[in-house]
Structure 1
Amino acid sequence: MLSSIAAPEGLLPGASLVPVHEASAERDRQWWRSSVIYQIYPRSFRDLNGDGIGDLPGITAELPALAELDIDAIWLSPFYVSPQKDAGYDVADYCDVDPLFGTLDDFDTLTATAKKHGIRVIVDLVPNHCSDAHTLFQAALAAPENSPARDMFIFRDGTGEHGENPPNNWQSHFGGPAWTRTTNPDGTPGQWYLHLFDSTQPDFNWDNPAVHDEFERILRFWLDRGVGGFRVDVAHALIKKTGLPDWGGRADGASSEGFPGDQAPMFGQAGIHDIYRSWRKILDEYDGDRVLCAEATIDPLDRLTDWVRPDEMHQTFNFAYLHHPWNAPELRRIIETSLTAFDQVGAPTTWVLSNHDVVRHVSRFGLTAGHNRPGDGLGPEDLQPDHDLGLRRARAATLLMLALPGGVYLYQGEELGMPDHTMLEHGHRQDPTFHRTGGERLGRDGCRVPLPWRADEPSYGFSSTGAAWLPQPEEWRELSRDLQAAHPASTLGLYRTALKLRRELSLGHGSLAWWPEFEDDGVVALVNGNVLAVMNMGTNTVQLPEGELLAQSVPEAGQDGFLGPDTAVWLRLA
């Protein structure tokens, strides 16, 4: 079937368009308002020393390849000293590099080289919890109850006749209780400590000013080394409600029936905003427009914008967009709601389709029957995604995303069209979620598999020896960067083309208006400046208005004035 719509007179934005968002004023064109930030998961990016784990020199070596994507910054997932119980999010020393990844000198070389390519380096900061190997927690374990050392963390007496039960009913994000009991020096059972994640990741006590002082020291350490800013892990969790009351809702604090997310006692407490106001003042002392980005799982969107008020953070991740279904009306609603909410506080909206915690969007969009474990991986026993369909939809979704005003986050490998490793054998899994739930939840290893760089080298060029900390599927050879670089129609070619146009046309600083509805409600069509972006999420072929074809998600998209299902195009309007 075909559906079409008559184009508005003159094809220019006008009364017949539905405006949603105005372009940034010239005075407001800070780099972070339109930024393209590329997330690097260091252990899976590139390994130069041959141990099978990616390292900082590997990142430095491949910066020219990233510069070709017209990105503004890279965001590095944790590379700090760590026992690696949670892939580095269990930090033992916030001011040094784990030998797995290199040295502080390697970090300095990385930032200096990135600067030559016009790329900023943003580092992951993990302020909610640290590793149980951190010297502060080891001192707390050795100290008596109610001591200053213990007050750096959240220790409580248990309930029950002998304190044998946890202090409350909170659950860990990774499964099981959020409390672990200690053992006193004489061998008797002691107090319990809180860990919203793994038992090896004790939560800091942010009611203690000494914790504030420690993290201000950490911020300045990295700012003095020239970092462009910080992505703040679980930025909504630092302050807990006084009294630590029981909670019958979801462990991650998301809303569920009878338990709205804004009532979760371990997330989104008002006092948290004073912390980020103080951090913003510190960043403002430094030149170079340094930034803070929140990973805050908060709903609804009008609560999330509290994190990006003018005196707090610069950006926050838009998880509503990250998890959008393959449904045009719902996607339009999320885009409009996001822009409206963030415009109210003068902050840019960010857009993201994949990261290190979710199923990659190639696999997600290939799941025709849905997936009942959002945020968890797919395994050999699960219904497998339709890869061709998923890739076709992922390319279309990416093209539409890159036409949106605001900031964009890319996850390493998505420019190659990488799916999850959905056939990963369970014996290779390292995510603590898998082990804490006895395999009931598979965890996130499938989206963290090392990248393929060169088709005909061991481990597809990831490691100099062919080693890899997670095995790569054989079919990923065809996704290797060197093969794709030679073909403009490849997924890599699509990203290069669209990202270059996004910068040249200033789409990140642009406006957004809805093109009048197509007869087919499966279409998302928006105008940014004089660019019309159209994505067909329906089942019918639709007729396009006239315009110069600038970019297409697949070679046949937009040919002869028609757009087939699961494709997208950019048109320059006359």
Structure 2
Amino acid sequence: MSVPTSESLWWRQAAVYQIYPRSFADSNADGMGDLPGITSRMAYLSALGIDAIWLSPFYPSALADGGYDVDDYRNVDPRLGSLDDFDTMVEAAHAADIRVIVDVVPNHSSNRHEWFQAALASAPGSTERARYHFLDGLGADGELPPSDWPSHFGGGAWTRVMEQSGPNAGSLGQWYLHLFAAEQPDFNWDNPEVREDFHTTLRFWSDRGVDGFRIDVAHALVKDMSLPLRSKPSLEIVVADGGDPLFDRDAVHEVFEGWRSVFNEYDPPRAAVAEAWVPFTDRRLKYARPTELGQAFNFDLLEAPFSAVKFRSIAEKCLSEATASGASSTWVFSNHDVVRHPSRYAFPDGSTREDLEAWLLSGGASPVLDLARGVRRARAATLFMLGLPGSAYLYQGEELGLLEAADLPASVLQDPTWFRTDHKIKGRDGCRVPLPWSATEPNFGFGGTPWLPQPESFGASAAAAQDGVAGSTLEMYRAALALRRSLQAEESLEWLSAPEATVVHYRRPNGWEVITNFGADDGQLPSDVDLSKVVLSSGEPAAVEASGGTIPAETTLWIAP
């Protein structure tokens, strides 16, 4: 086992840039982003100033869930490239001093995975079926599913199969569990063969130079399948093994202790971060222990309104939790599963998730959003967040200030949620629209005709249109990430403003200060702030210089020591 060194702690305050490969850059003009496309944009990523890229799944897949239905965990989807292309991309990233994190999807495979195909071809009770959760149905002839569990994407979590062998061949037989789409059967993590196969997968990618792993739905692997199956609680807030039979079971930590042993076979040890939507802090922090994955996403800021009290209390809580777990905190506003945060911040204050869903169904027509305010708030929130100690996870396109593509027509939608909810929930396609690289090139420089159409408004936000333009969102991100890297300090801060203040002010141990005005009106700056030391503003620099001791509404300032 390797001994951790300072090199092994690179992730603690890293800026990690999430790439959704199909939507990043298309190298062969087939309309789908690919690995060579990522390699071709490595200079852009280097200039942005990130420390690592995180790749959403690039494995062979039928794309029933955007690549999170994996056919083969140790290969590349031929539409996205080859293993040689992957190696070339990793080499280019490392040459640019950028580390590589890949997504691992351990809760479920695709229904095209060789194991699941073998399970379908085998009889009930076989070793092939024991890798998944197959059960007899209820009712006189097994015509009812084994439980009332819902699928996360809508509908039920069980699908019945037509038996291919055994005495009931040719007839409807057992049911299999899928917490997500029917094309995503859940693995049985009580099966040692499943556990060992994922160890093989982790070593496969680590041997190819991968520096870390993002673990999808980390809290769902181990389930209570004892008969009779319990109903899922009506409320999501449950406690440990006495609550939900499907999520956050104590035994899942044995799985990740085994993964940590694999990670520590390498020098430096491979990093990992858990996607664990766990409502109780002490439960979520277990995934981040040094003996397990080392980090776990907190989505508190992602779910919070643009509010001084909320942002400060969340930062205080998360930094305290990180200290308790021995990990560093994680900060995130957007990813491939949520509406982009400039659009969220454009909603009227007090809006709910239901309001957001209704807006998506209206194609972005109702309510009419204050988009200028949304972008202004997003820029201020970003600088507030990038000043905090911990890891910053950025989603591709947020450095361009991209808004949600809410007006995608129904004919192009691909998210399984849209289909499994009978078109009641539009889903996540709007944040996955391919990036705009140039305002003047066909398809905004992405490549071929994109697999999801780009709105015309993307042209003004294209990377080339913002490159070198003072005050653009791209240049703000570049400046912030460069300063963040040069001003790294101990993982702590001192609050210089009152807890209820609208203007939030904190100082890092090296003297670097961050001030954010969350209010809708200009706010008063502390009398000892030297405006000549403002090195970065989320708003117009001239407005700060002419402010005469005030900070403009919804603006963040960075002040040098």
The answer to whether the aligner puts 1:348 opposite 2:328 as a matched pair is: yes
Is this contact kept in 2: 1:121–1:228, CA < 8 A?
Answer: yes
Query: What is the deviation of 1:332?
Result: 1.3
Partner of 2:401: 417
CA distance in 1, matches of 2:6, 2:74: 36
> In the alignment, is the contact (CA less than 8 A) between 2:8 and 2:268 conserved in 1?
no
Choose from 247, 254, 263 the match for 2:232: 247
Give the alignment of 1:42-57 within 5 angstroms.
42-57=21-36
Could you tell me which residue of structure 2 aligns to residue 12 of structure 1?
A: none
Instruction: Output the amino acid matched with 1:555.
Output: E
User: Which amino acid letter does the alignment assign opposite residue 563 of structure 1?
Assistant: I
Write the distance in 1 (CA, Å) between the matches of 2:143 and 2:273: 40
Is 1:435 the equivalent of 2:419?
Answer: yes
- Check conservation: 2:497, 2:503, Cα contact below 8 A: no
Q: How many residues are matched? A: 538
Tell me the residue number matched to 1:569. 557
Question: What corresponds to 1:182 in structure 2?
Answer: 161
Closer, same or farther: CA 211–66 of 1 in aligned 2, 3 Å = same
Whether the 8 Å CA contact 1:544–1:558 is kept in 2: the answer is no
1:550 corresponds to which residue? 535
Aligned residue number for residue 215 of structure 2: 232
By how many angstroms is 1:478 displaced? 0.5
Asked if structure 2 preserves the Cα contact closer than 8 Å seen for 1:384 and 1:422, the reply is: no
Instruction: State the distance in 2 between where 1:211 and 1:318 align.
Output: 28
Per the alignment, in what secondary structure is the counterpart of residue 181 of structure 1?
strand
8 A Cα contact 1:532 1:570, kept in partner: yes
- 1:61 matched to 2:40? The reply is yes
Distance in 1 between residues matched to 2:115 and 2:355, nearest whole Å = 35
Cα deviation, residue 156, structure 1: 0.8
CA distance in 2, matches of 1:314, 1:155: 33
List per-residue Cα deviations over 1:358-377 (Å, max 9, x = no partner): 01111010111524349968
Is 2:517 aligned against 1:533? no
1:120 to 95, 99, 102: 99
In the alignment, is residue 524 of structure 1 matched against residue 524 of structure 2?
Answer: no
Q: Which residue identity lines up with residue 270 of structure 1 in the other structure?
A: D
Alpha-carbon shift at residue 488 of structure 1 (Å): 2.2
Find the aligned partners of 1:523 and 1:150 in 2 and give their Cα distance.
Answer: 58
**Kept after mapping to 1: 8 A contact 2:8/2:269:** no
Q: Which of 397, 417, 435 is 1:451 aligned to?
A: 435
TM-score of the superposition, structure 2-length normalised?
0.93
Q: Do the aligned residues in 2 keep the contact of 1:322 with 1:352 (CA within 8 Å)?
A: yes
Aligned-partner Cα distance in 2 for 1:440–1:382: 16
Match of 2:298 among 305, 313, 318: 318
* Residues 129/99 of structure 1: CA separation in 2 closer, same or farther (3 Å cut): same
The yes-or-no answer on 1:389 pairing with 2:373 is: yes
Give 1:358's aligned residue: 338
CA contact (8 A) 1:522 1:539 kept: no
Match of residue 195 from structure 1: 178
Q: Which moved more, 1:530-539 or 1:269-278?
A: 530-539
SS of the residue aligned with 1:236? Answer: helix
1:75, 1:123 within 8 Å by CA — same for their partners in 2?
yes
Aligned: 1:506 with 2:488: yes
Do the aligned partners of 2:222 and 2:251 also contact (CA within 8 Å) in 1? yes
CA distance in 1, matches of 2:113, 2:322: 37
Of 261-270 and 230-239, more deviation after overlay is shown by: 261-270
Distance apart, 1:100 and its partner CA: 1.1
Q: 8 Å contact 2:153–2:180 — kept in the other structure?
A: yes
Determine the structure 2 residue equivalent to 1:16: none
Secondary structure of 2:457's aligned partner: helix
For residues 398-448 of structure 1, what are the alpha-carbon distances to aligned partners after superposition, in whole Å with 9 as ceiling and x for unaligned?
000000001110000000000100111111110000011111011000000
1:486: which partner in 2? 468
Shift in alpha-carbon separation, 1:245–1:382, aligned structure 2, 3 A: farther
Aligned to 1:288: 268
Deviation of 1:152 (Å): 0.2
Deviation of the 1:161 alpha carbon: 1.8
Contact 1:80 1:96 in 2 (8 A): yes
Aligned equivalent of 1:142? 121
- Aligned match of 1:77: 56
Q: Partner of 1:521: helix, strand, or coil?
A: coil
**Which letter does structure 2 place at the counterpart of 1:511?**
S
Rounded Cα–Cα distance in structure 2 between residues aligned with 1:375 and 1:207:
39
**Which amino acid is 1:299 matched to?**
P
> What's the CA shift for 1:261?
8.0
- 1:528 deviates by 1.3
In 2, the alpha carbon distance for the partners of 1:373 and 1:141 equals 39
In the superposition, relative to structure 1, how do residues 27 and 123 fare at CA in structure 2: closer, same or farther (>3 Å)? Answer: closer
Query: 1:406 maps to what in 2?
Result: 390
Counterpart-to-counterpart distance in 1, 2:211 and 2:70: 21
State the alpha-carbon separation in 1 of the partners of residues 203 and 6 from structure 2: 28
3-state DSSP of counterpart to 1:68 = helix
TM-score, normalisation: structure 1: 0.91
1:356 is displaced (CA, Å) by 0.3
Letter in 1 for 2:426: L
Please say if residues 132 and 138 of structure 1, whose CA atoms lie closer than 8 Å, have aligned partners that are also in contact.
yes
Structure 1 unaligned regions, length at least 5: 1-25
Q: What is the CA distance between 1:27 and its match in structure 2?
A: 6.1
Task: Label 1:300 to 1:396 Cα distance change in 2 as closer, same or farther (>3 A).
Answer: same
Alignment partner of 1:496: what SS?
A: helix
8 Å CA contact 2:334–2:340 kept in 1: the answer is yes
Aligned to 2:313: 333
- CA-to-aligned-CA distance 1:444-472 (integer Å, 9 cap, x gap): 00000000001100010001x4x100111
Q: Residues 453-496 of structure 1: CA distance to partner in whole angstroms, max 9, x if unpaired?
A: 01100010001x4x100111111100010110121210001001
What is the rounded CA distance, in whole Å, between the counterparts of 1:33 and 1:51 in structure 2? 38
Larger displacement relative to structure 2 (77-86 or 324-333): 324-333
Whole-Å separation in 1 of the counterparts to 2:468 and 2:258 = 48
Greater RCO (CA < 8 Å, at least 6 residues apart):
1
Instruction: Give the secondary-structure state (helix, strand or coil) at the position aligned to 2:80.
Output: coil
Q: Is the 8 A contact 2:503 2:524 kept in 1?
A: no
Counterpart-to-counterpart distance in 2, 1:524 and 1:414 = 23
Is the Cα contact below 8 Å between 1:196 and 1:203 reproduced in 2? yes
Q: For 2:10, which of 25, 31, 34 is the aligned residue?
A: 31
Give 5+ residue unaligned stretches, structure 2.
Answer: none
Distance 1:277 1:159 in 2: 36
